[in-house]
Amino acid sequence: MSDGLEFTGERFTPECVREIWYEHVHRYAFAREFVHGRRVLDAACGEGYGSALLAERAAAVTGVDLSAEAVAHAQRRYTAGNLSFRVADGTALPFDDDAFDCVISFETLEHLREQQALLAEFRRVLAPGGFLLISTPDKAIYTDRQQNDNAFHVAELYRNEFEDLLGAHFPVARLWGHKLAFHSAIWSLGDAPADGAVLQQARDGRIDAATRPAHDPVYLLAFCAAEEAALPEPSAALWLFDDAAESVYAHYYHEIRKNMAAGALLAEREQEIRRLEAELDAARRPWWRRLTGRG
């Protein structure tokens, strides 16, 4: 495996850890469940890690990116008989009509203003019965509420704008939400229903139950197609993702313990300061008052 591509903030690399790693890898882990036996285009593939994940299930994967550096890196780092990479502009793809059964494009739209041209190209290269899976941050949450300021985003979209853009090119679209969350998990270790989910949330002194998160998603994902029958049917309404090392939880736990230790140390220091101040006050009293024990 070659050295990692330098992380500049413009594109994700697998050397990133914890939260950002969860967000980016989860999208591809989700996507690869729907690409079995398909010819896949990974548009704006960046470093190539996602194309490699898709290639584990797909018949063939072509990763394209505008960056020659990123493509050269991907070609060195990820090799498989059904995986290829090439430099290409998403708004002018060098492929025939109907060339792919599936187009994947994560966190691409917000990086360019030619969004209509991009969606038109995705529709052109999709074969009949094919689908697009695309994601973008919801500006209302990512920027307005969370106050992120990403210098590489040139045209972020609100949810209604995203839906309007998709609708201009794809007759049917089904939206999903995505955000990083911290959950307490309880699950069956024996015989129990295999499907479905119950999420409980405490709010204003009561506990409500639902089958989906009540929070606003930070990112929007959409399955798009020319007809309803072409849309994939996910086997569950909620997909959870983590890593075996539980890196996000481990980091959280480490930070909590570090803060607790710092608080205890601060209390000790404050106690020591009060003791030294008392000794200093005593040393400043006249000698005869110290002898008599007065003032």
Q: What is the DSSP string of 34-57?
A: G-TT-EEEEET-TTSHHHHHHHTT
Whole-angstrom Cα distance, residue 27 to residue 20?
Answer: 11
What distance in Å separates the CA atoms of residue 266 and residue 148, rounded to the nearest whole number? Answer: 33
Calculate helix-pair angle for 18-31, 247-284, nearest 10 degrees.
170
* Rounded distance between C-alpha atoms, residue 39 and residue 50, angstroms: 15
Residues of 150-160 as b/e, b for ≥16 C-beta within 10 angstroms?
eeebeebbebe
Could you say which DSSP state residue 142 is in?
A: I
DSSP 241: -
Mean pLDDT along residues 253-261? 73
Q: How far apart are CA 130 and CA 39, in angstroms?
A: 9
In Å, how far are 8, 16, 52, 64, 89 from 85, measured between CA atoms?
A: 21, 22, 10, 6, 13
What is the domain partition of the chain in residue ranges? Answer: 18-183+196-241, 250-292
CA 104 – CA 27 distance, rounded (Å): 10
Q: What is the pLDDT of residue 292?
A: 58
Under 8 Å CB-to-CB from 250, ≥6 apart: which residues? none
pLDDT per position as a tens digit, 150-183: 888 999 999 999 999 999 999 999 999 998 877 7
Question: How far lies 150's CA from each of 21, 31, 141, 173, 221, in Å?
Answer: 17, 25, 13, 27, 19
pLDDT, average across residues 228-240? 89
Cβ contact 131:181 at 8 Å: no
Dist. CA 91–CA 109, nearest whole Å: 11
CATH architecture of 18-183+196-241: 3-Layer(aba) Sandwich (3.40)
| pTM exceeding 0.75 | yes
Answer for the pair 66, 85: CB distance below 8 angstroms, yes or no.
no
Average the pLDDT over each of 112-116, 209-213, 238-242, 287-291 and give the range with the smallest value.
Answer: 287-291
pLDDT, averaged across the chain: 85
Say which residue the tokens 């998990």 belong to: 185
Closest residue by Cα to residue 223 from 289, 131, 110, 153: 131
How far is CA 219 from its chain centroid? Answer: 8
pLDDT at 253: 66
pLDDT of residue 1: 44
Reported as a pLDDT band with limits 50, 70 and 90, residue 100 is very high
**Measured distance CA(105)–CA(281) in Å, rounded:** 70
